[in-house]
Amino acid sequence: MKKALFALLAVLFLAGTSHALTILDFEGIPDDFLYFGGDQNLGNYYAGVTFGPDATILDAQRYGYNSTGYPPHSGDAVLFSDAIDHIRVDFDNATNHAELWYTASSSGLYLEAYDSNDNMLTSDYGAGNSGSNDFLEVNTADFDIAYVIIHDSGNFFTIDDFGWEESGGGNPIPEPTTILLMASGLLGMGGLARFRKRS
């Protein structure tokens, strides 16, 4: 009985589809998507997200990008917008979390999360930090972030290690209180079965 109970508890802890954090470091992008290569919008190059309308890559190892003022957070490449003051990132499946590392001019940078009806759900702001990297993130209780907009008052910012939470189409892992409630019910059922067996 005890072994069966422990096995059920283990299943409860592992039940559901866990959420996975996907991080894009923008390394190894084909030349066409590099600002100094083909200046093509990154678009839906990566599965799960679409970047636009003016999102290209700067790579310190190719085409002579001087990254001193706007260094990558990792590797050699960063996401960049040349002509306009923002980058929009649409998610194929709504998320509850998005994050990034940024470098921005004195105007700082905003990360804003929107639902599918274009309502802003939440936002984060970071001050100007030329020559270094800082972290921004947005979170909601539900998987209702359809897209994020990254912007400042000009076009002087770079993005690296952009990440978001993927639900995988399943339910989240049960919360601890749910697990405790279910476990106490199982224990009660086990005790009742044991009591009946003795009678």
Question: Does the pLDDT at position 78 exceed 70?
Answer: yes
Look at residue 181 in the predicted model and tell me its pLDDT: 47
Environment class of 104 (CB within 10 Å of its CB; exposed 0-12, middle 13-18, buried 19+): buried
Question: Does the pLDDT at position 142 exceed 60?
Answer: yes
Look at residue 166 in the predicted model and tell me its pLDDT: 87
What's this model's pTM, rounded to 2 decimal places? 0.77
Question: Does the pLDDT at position 60 exceed 70?
Answer: yes
Q: What is the mean pLDDT of the chain?
A: 83
Domain 19-172, CATH among 1.10.510.10, 3.30.930.10, 1.20.120.1780, 2.60.120.200: 2.60.120.200
| Nearest alpha-carbon partner for 149 in 114, 104, 107 | 114
Question: Does the pLDDT at position 2 exceed 60?
Answer: no
Look at residue 167 in the predicted model and tell me its pLDDT: 76
Look at residue 74 in the predicted model and tell me its pLDDT: 97
Question: Does the pLDDT at position 170 exceed 60?
Answer: no
pLDDT tens, position by position, 26-49: 999 999 999 999 999 999 999 999
Q: What is the pLDDT confidence band of residue 168, given thresholds at 50, 70 and 90? A: low
Look at residue 82 in the predicted model and tell me its pLDDT: 87
pLDDT tens, position by position, 107-131: 899 999 999 999 999 999 999 999 9
- Delimit the domains of the chain by residue range: 1-16+173-199, 19-172
Contacts with 78 (C-beta within 8 Å, 6 or more apart), sequence order = 26, 57, 58, 67, 70, 72, 103, 158, 159, 160
Question: Does the pLDDT at position 143 exceed 80?
Answer: yes
- Give the number of other CB atoms < 10 A from CB of residue 5: 14
Look at residue 136 in the predicted model and tell me its pLDDT: 98
Peptide bond into 53 cis (omega under 30): yes
